[in-house]
Amino acid sequence: MINTQQLKKVYDNGFEAVKNLSLHVHKGDIYGFLGPNGAGKTTTIRMLIGLIEPTSGELEVSNLNVKKNKEEIKKHIGVLPESHGYYEWMTGEEYLQFFSALHKLDKKQRKAKVAEVLDLVSLTSKANVKISQYSRGMRQRLGIARTLIHDPEIIFLDEPTLGLDPQGQKDIENILLNLNKVNGVTIFITSHLLKDIEKICNRVAIVKTGTLMEEDSVQSLLDKYKKEIHKEDLSLEDVFFHLTSDRKEEQ
Ligand X SMILES: Nc1ncnc2c1ncn2[C@@H]1O[C@H](COP(=O)(O)OP(=O)(O)OP(=O)(O)O)[C@@H](O)[C@H]1O
CA separation, residue 227 to residues 122, 202, 222 (Å): 43, 21, 9
Binding region for ligand X (CB under 6 A): 11, 13, 15, 17, 35, 37-43, 82
- Does 20 contact Mg ion by CB under 5 A? no
With respect to ligand X, which residue has the nearer C-beta, 48 or 131? 48
Asked whether position 42 contacts Mg ion by CB under 5 A, the answer is: yes
CB of 41 to Mg ion, least distance (A): 5
Angle at 126 between CA 125 and CA 130, to 5 degrees: 160
CB burial class (10 A; 0-12, 13-18, 19+) of residue 227? exposed
Where does this chain touch Mg ion (CB under 5 A) — which range of 82-90, 196-204, 220-228, 232-240? 82-90
- Phi, psi dihedral angles at 148 (to 5 degrees): -100, -5
3-state DSSP assignment of residue 118: helix
Report the nearest approach of ligand X to the CB of residue 201 (Å): 17
Candidates 46, 87, 82; CA nearest to 163 is 82
**Binding flag, residue 81, Mg ion (CB under 5 A):** no
**117 or 193: CB nearest Mg ion:** 193
Minimum Å gap between C-beta 229 and ligand X is 23
> What are the residues binding Mg ion (CB under 5 A)?
41-42, 82
